Each structure stands twice: as C-alpha cells, then as structure tokens.
Amino acid sequence: MRNGVTIGQAAAFVGVTVKTVRHYHKLGLVEEPERDSSGYRRYGSADLLRLVQVRTLAAAGVPLAEIGPVLNADATQLATALADVGRQLTERIEELIARRDTLDRLVDGDQALLGDRAVALLERMVGLGFPAGEVANAREGWILAKVLVPDGFDDYLAHVEHALDDPRYVALIKRAAEAAAWEPDDPRVAELATAMAEHYLANPAHLKIVTALQARTEAATRYTLIARHGEEQTSATTRAAAVFENELRAAGIHIPRPDAR
C-alpha cells in the first residue's frame, strides 16, 4: 500500500494549485518528499500540515519571504513574530482603508480635490444661479489655487463665503460670466472692468478675494496661473481682467504682473 498522496491531491486538499505547491518548494517553505518506488512524490501528514501552515499565513497576508522564519521559530519567537506580523497587517489594513476612503471621495466628485468647504461653496453658487460654465471655471481655478497657494486657500474661501452674502457682488460676478461671450473690443468690457474695480475698492473685505492668493514666492507666476485659468488670450474676459487689474494697481493695490518675478 502506498503511503501519502500525490502533489495534485495534496494541492486539492490544502486548497491551492499544484503550481503554488511547487513555488513553495522552490522557496524552501515546504520540503519536497522523496519519490516512491513508482517515481511519484508522496505527501504525508507532516507535509500536508506544513502546506496548510504556509497557505494560512500567506492568505493572512504574511509575505512569503517571512513565512519560513516564522514557522521555524520556537514557541516564544513564533508568538513574537506573529504579533509583529499582526501589527504589520493592521498598518496595511489602515492604509487600504485610507485608500478606499479616497476612492469613495473621488466617486463623490470634488471632495477629494477641494474638500467639503469648497464643494459647499460651489453648490451655493449653483443655488444662486451662477452659469454652469462659471461654476466649472471656479472649480478648476480653486483646484489650482489649493495646490499653488495652499496656505492662503482657507482664507480665500472665507472671503468668498462672505462676498456671496452680498447681492451686488453676486450680480457683478454673474455679469462678468456673461462677458465671456462678448467681443474683446465691446465697449461694455471696459465698463464692466471699471465697475468691478470700483466695487472691490469700495469693499475691502471683497478685495481680499483678489489679494488672498498671492504666494510669497513666484507670486506673479502662481497668481497668473490661477487668475488667467480658462481664459483665451484674445478673449473679452482676458481684456476685462487686464483693465480691472490695472485700475487696482492705479489705486495702489499690489497685483503681480505676468512679466514680473
């Protein structure tokens, strides 16, 4: 009577593939049984036990390179090694949970990129009747602002929250959104830019929306990337922004120039 089972039977009993068993052999995790008189390797109870132990640890997330030392340790060392593996698994679980939470926020949209406060402001703009294009442009500009001027982003949002309480400000920004469809040489462009400059100068709290995102270093580059986001170089919006900024500069407000450093 032949003792033991074939590699195929051993793999099936343990719940792995033959290829996996052979991989365990290659790594030295399980010794290969001697061949019997018929030339077959027969796996006895001790071999099956070792296979079960290796498979169980591997399934628990223990790296294959660490399984050998764990199983070969004495009782005290084994307990210590398993406790250490448990801590590592806990860290991996926490990392995976954090990744899952990030994916959940991405599914929800802007929370992962902007945070709840900015998302609430975008929703508020929609409720106030801002055009979808203006809301989308604000969203993209805010993403850039959060990356380029992270220290000033929360203060900037606070200024926007305050300004949205003023119907005059809301009406002015809606008007500016409409200007995107105007021709650059439309006389209304300069009129709008002047009206916006006058409003900001008359409302210092609102003016902080313009000045809050000026970075301490590379100010001109970062400011231009944010302020000019989404504009075509020959658009009415670009012309209005240029007139608006020049009027603020004329009033003594520091606005970085695109050609400055």
Write out pLDDT tens, residues 184-207: 889 999 999 999 999 989 998 888
Flag the least confident range among 81-85, 134-138, 219-223.
Answer: 219-223
3-state secondary structure of 248: helix
3-state secondary structure of 22: helix
Contacts 24+ apart (CB under 8 A), 12-15: 13/48, 14/48, 14/51, 14/52, 14/55, 15/55
Q: How many CB atoms lie under 10 A from the CB of residue 211?
A: 17
The band of 102, judged by pLDDT with boundaries at 50, 70 and 90, is low
The token pair at 25 is 């052999």
Q: Is the pLDDT of residue 250 over 80?
A: yes
Q: What is the pLDDT of residues 127-179, one digit of tens each?
A: 898 888 888 888 888 888 888 888 888 988 999 999 999 999 999 989 888 88
Sign of dihedral through CA atoms 55, 57, 60, 61? negative
Closest CA to 217 of 123, 169, 152: 152
On whether the pTM is more than 0.75, the answer is no
- Dist. CA 237–CA 245, nearest whole Å: 12
The DSSP code sequence of 44-107 is -HHHHHHHHHHHHHHHTT--HHHHHHHHHS-HHHHHHHHHHHHHHHHHHHHHHHHHHHHHHHHH
pLDDT of residue 227: 52
Closest CA to 239 of 157, 182, 167, 199: 182
The token pair at 258 is 């695109």
3-state secondary structure of 35: strand
The one-letter amino acid code at 25 reads H
Q: How many CB atoms lie under 10 A from the CB of residue 174?
A: 15
The one-letter amino acid code at 88 reads Q
The one-letter amino acid code at 22 reads R
Backbone phi, then psi, for 115, in 5-degree steps? Answer: 95, 165
For the chain, counts of helices (H) and of strands (E):
14, 0
